[in-house]
Amino acid sequence: MNKLTISQRGVHMPASAMRKLAPFADEAKACGIDVIHLNIGQPDIETPPEFWEAVSKFPEQTLAYGPSAGRSECIDGMVEYYARFDIPLTANQIIITTAGSEALLFALMACGDAGDEVIIPEPFYSNYAGLATMAGLHVVPFTTFAQDDYRLPPREAIERLVGERTRVILYSSPGNPTGVVYTPEEVAMLGDIARTHRLYLLSDEPYRELSYDGQIATSALHLPGMEEHVIVLDSISKRFSACGARIGCVVSRNAALMETIMKLAMARLSAPVLEQIGAAACLVNTPTSYFEEMREEYTRRRDIVYERLNQIEGVYCPKPAGAFYAMAKIEGVDTEDFARWLLTDFQHAGQTVMVAPGSGFYTTPGLGHEEIRIAYVLETEVLSRAMDLLTMAIRRYRSEPANQ
């Protein structure tokens, strides 16, 4: 027997849908075509000056390990930050992680074993599937639909998925990829399902500040009597436009669970230190005007994308209420093929767009094939031009005999 094989976990790790498209984007660029990236959630907003200043003033000469739970400035910064949302926390209810990814990995590892199940509303952020696979958990999706504006289905549709091996319900609100912001009633319903069936409720909240039109995103940490159940995953990546810092945290009032996550954190020693210093400064000192400006800017961008997409015949885009993504349904178009075609066969005045095919956000086979996700993280003029291109492209794609 050859033991020098790839693990089953490794074989089952999902490959990024984007990665399959990357060579086509490279080729288009090599041919001189300007590819407008609507496919990645990398904001163009500047990281606050507080971050850079704190890093440049770091006084230590030896970049030593940080404590496994996080540098005290960073934990204290998180405590102060959450207090502003009326979420009182103590330092031992927060562990600083290497971004939200590690926060989710640790939470899944602490809650479940190989073969256990995590229920997630789909479409969902693709890396949930990868991180669940790393932790050995199976994803059990329930579907939300474009025509329902990606709102939660009735309680029964979720509860019937709870089985012997279910451990966790995982969701994000404001959500990636749909931009949906769950109402307080929707969050309460998820909480109640978790309470009834004794499940952990993992709420991924990196987009907390990014909800529009006066809506306020409900944190799972606001649910009463759910101290044992609720685990919040968080990250400064989008909040302070500092995706490369890789600073996040896991938050829970369940002491036994935090003790377990602490053991996981100790096995990897510490999160990056210099970037914790920068994060701490942002958490404490970034003025509310930073978020107000950010929200205004993203609202303008959201409006362009939302309005222009819905003007295209046979396209429906629910109005995103938060985050910086829009999911649109393009009737009768195979979006995997269309996304590739945009890079290989389409251009207008030397430009094209790159979009994320919807299927990458679903685990149920066959779903998402008529949807695309757009990240509106570019300036309004570029987004307008991108919408022009997309409008032309959809028309032209549909008119080609091969795509009928």
Which residues in the 179-238 window bind a copy of itself by CB under 8 A?
A: 197-200, 228-229
From candidates 193, 264, 327, 389, binder to a copy of itself by CB under 8 A: 264
Shortest Å distance, C-beta 61 to a copy of itself = 5
Q: Is 2 in the site for a copy of itself (CB under 8 A)?
A: yes
Q: Is 26 in the site for a copy of itself (CB under 8 A)?
A: no
How many C-beta neighbours within 10 Å does residue 45 have? Answer: 16
Report which residue type is found at 73: E
Window of 241-249, 329-337, 341-349, 380-388 that interacts with a copy of itself by CB under 8 A:
241-249
Q: Is 147 in the site for a copy of itself (CB under 8 A)?
A: no
Nearer Cβ to a copy of itself, position 191 or 318? 191
From candidates 72, 73, 127, 189, binder to a copy of itself by CB under 8 A: 127
Nearer Cβ to a copy of itself, position 7 or 404? 7
Sign, CA torsion 359/362/363/368 = negative
**What residues between 385 and 404 interact with a copy of itself by CB under 8 A?**
none
Shortest Å distance, C-beta 168 to a copy of itself = 9
From candidates 161, 188, 189, 243, binder to a copy of itself by CB under 8 A: 243
Q: Is 99 in the site for a copy of itself (CB under 8 A)?
A: yes
From candidates 28, 82, 102, 371, binder to a copy of itself by CB under 8 A: 102
Shortest Å distance, C-beta 342 to a copy of itself = 22
Q: Is 91 in the site for a copy of itself (CB under 8 A)?
A: no
Shortest Å distance, C-beta 272 to a copy of itself = 4
Window of 110-118, 217-225, 334-342, 385-393 that interacts with a copy of itself by CB under 8 A:
110-118
Q: Is 3 in the site for a copy of itself (CB under 8 A)?
A: yes
Q: Is 64 in the site for a copy of itself (CB under 8 A)?
A: yes
From candidates 25, 233, 245, 394, binder to a copy of itself by CB under 8 A: 245
Cα torsion for 26, 31, 32, 34, to the nearest 10°? Answer: -50
Shortest Å distance, C-beta 127 to a copy of itself = 5
Spatial strand order of the sheet with 200-204 comes to 94-98, 247-252, 230-235, 200-204, 166-172, 117-122, 138-143
Q: Is 352 in the site for a copy of itself (CB under 8 A)?
A: no
From candidates 189, 273, 284, 367, binder to a copy of itself by CB under 8 A: 273
Q: Is 46 in the site for a copy of itself (CB under 8 A)?
A: yes
User: How far apart are alpha carbons 142 and 31 in whole angstroms?
Assistant: 42
Map tokens 């914790």 to a residue.
276
